Structure 1
Amino acid sequence: MPLVKYVEANGTEYAVDADTGISAMEAAVRNGIPGIDGDCGGAAACATCHVYVDEGWIGKTGRAGEGLEQSMLEFAEDVRDNSRLACQITLDDRLDGLVLKLPEKQH
């Protein structure tokens, strides 16, 4: 069970023990993390699970790939180099301790 830390823009932190094989968006929604809506249910068809991957973890999660994820990020606010859609980050044991920062607001 990987532990994922979600950090709101105001600094409030939430730690979630997530099931392996689900997305970071699913883990957030299941645990009521504010700021992660996942309106499309994880189909990468909205940008309501936009997160910033902590720079120490970007090597393991990778950056947003070209195509669908990158296209959807164009609808998000304040996109950065480390922006990802949480629905596109599949959790596994190598991501234990992952830190995801939330934007000030979602689209």
Structure 2
Amino acid sequence: MLTEPTLEKLKSLHLYVMANAWVGQRTDPAIAELDFDGRFALLVDAEHIARDNKRIGRLLREAKLRIPSACLEDIDYAPKRELDRAQIRQLSSGRWIADHANVLITGMTGVGKSVTEQAV
């Protein structure tokens, strides 16, 4: 089988990650044990994950967040902040959106409530 024409076709279809994953599969002896469907699924998964990551990155850039690298794991749960870990974990699941529930954010002036509203 000629690999170069196939790689060029994948790249012309803008399937760059799939092309790179295929090259990686050809050099990995453990992958040879998988059947065609298994190998193909891995290629499709690699492309799908890369596109999702690219989309999320674009959305985060467009959001122009004040702290773009902020994440739930970095929340400071100091006692003076009076944050409930269980409640934050429940809100982060997004279940309240599916349940059509409201979330009310309160706090003193200058604590960043309006920044939170812009991020949502």
TM over 0.5: no
Normalising by the residue count of structure 2, what TM-score does the alignment of the two structures yield? Answer: 0.20
Higher relative contact order (CA 8 A, sep 6+): 1
Q: Which has the higher strand share?
A: 1
Normalising by the residue count of structure 1, what TM-score does the alignment of the two structures yield? Answer: 0.22
Q: Which has the higher helix share?
A: 2
